[in-house]
């Protein structure tokens, strides 16, 4: 995006000092931290200028056209924008420096075992055996016998007994209980004289 606003205060670092610092990093292979400290430039600002200088230098050396200005429409308004017409080598190197797959012991073991497993697994005999057992190839209509299907047969099983009805499970109450006896007229026996034949005594224990 093109910035048309004029800053009210001067830049903290002059363009001449910035160019000298960038050339020192690119030509003399000086570290960014020491160069930023020596010239009083923020580290992030120096990193951005070094990156831009690398892109421009590689574009000039490789014949890549310089980024052009284009009008970009956003919600009906036009604004100036910058885009690169080619993928820059610096960005390619930056993205390719980090491998998405980290080496691990599992990958090493898998690579060593696959050399022994694959030749023995992907053979004609192993492939044919998977089709010969069910009789697919070579075709064998007698691959399965009646004993294999005996577990699923239901004709030879005995019939289940009919479930009793509700009246058979719960007979009427009048058939279970006797008629109520008449009240007794004999005198009541005192509780002290009642003897229990099934009572246990200490001697029995």
Helix then strand then coil, in percent of the chain rounded to 5, is 45, 5, 50
Cα separation, 100 vs 96, whole angstroms: 9
pLDDT-based confidence at 76, cuts 50/70/90? very low
The reported pTM is 0.29
Cα separation, 81 vs 72, whole angstroms: 6
pLDDT at 68: 42
Q: Where are the domains of the chain?
A: 15-91, 100-149
Hunting for tokens 């960038």 — which residue is that? 22
CB 83 within 8 A of CB 67: yes
Residue with the bigger pLDDT between 17 and 171: it is 17
Average pLDDT rounded to a whole number, residues 55-64: 69
Q: 34-49, pLDDT tens digit by residue?
A: 888 888 888 888 888 8
Q: 95-126, pLDDT tens digit by residue?
A: 665 555 666 667 677 777 777 777 777 778 78
The yes-or-no verdict on residue 133 having pLDDT over 60 is: yes
Cα separation, 62 vs 143, whole angstroms: 71
Q: Is the peptide bond before 180 cis (omega within 30 degrees of 0)?
A: no
Q: What's the DSSP call for residue 8?
A: S
Average pLDDT rounded to a whole number, residues 51-70: 65
Q: What percent of the chain has pLDDT over 90?
A: 0
CB 44 within 8 A of CB 65: no
Token pair belonging to 109:
């073991």
Cα separation, 2 vs 79, whole angstroms: 7
Question: How deeply is 22 buried, as exposed, middle or buried, from its count of CB atoms within 10 A (0-12, 13-18, 19+)?
Answer: buried
Number of helices (H) and strands (E) in the chain: give both, helices first.
Answer: 8, 2
Superfamily of domain 15-91 in CATH is Homeodomain-like (1.10.10.60)
The yes-or-no verdict on residue 81 having pLDDT over 60 is: no
Largest CA distance in the chain: 134
Alpha helix (H) residue ranges in 66-193: 89-96, 105-121, 124-132, 166-169, 173-176
The yes-or-no verdict on residue 172 having pLDDT over 70 is: no
């Amino acid at each position: 995006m093109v910035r048309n606003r004029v800053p009210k205060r001067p830049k903290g670092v002059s363009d001449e000092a910035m160019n000298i610092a960038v050339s020192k990093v690119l030509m003399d292979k000086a570290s960014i931290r020491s160069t930023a400290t020596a010239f009083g430039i923020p580290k992030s600002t120096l990193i951005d200028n070094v990156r831009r200088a690398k892109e421009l230098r590689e574009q000039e050396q490789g014949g890549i056209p310089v980024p052009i200005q284009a009008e970009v429409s956003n919600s009906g308004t036009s604004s100036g924008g910058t885009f690169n017409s080619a993928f820059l080598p610096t960005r390619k190197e930056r993205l390719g420096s980090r491998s998405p797959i980290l080496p691990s012991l599992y990958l090493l073991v898998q690579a060593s075992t696959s050399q022994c497993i694959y030749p023995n697994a992907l053979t004609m005999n192993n492939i044919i055996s998977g089709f010969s057992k069910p009789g697919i190839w070579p075709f064998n209509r007698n691959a399965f016998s009646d004993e294999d299907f005996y577990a699923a047969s239901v004709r030879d099983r005995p019939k289940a007994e009919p479930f009793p009805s509700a009246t058979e499970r719960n007979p009427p109450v009048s058939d279970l209980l006797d008629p109520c006896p008449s009240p007794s007229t004999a005198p009541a026996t005192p509780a002290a004289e009642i003897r229990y034949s099934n009572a246990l005594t200490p001697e029995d224990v």
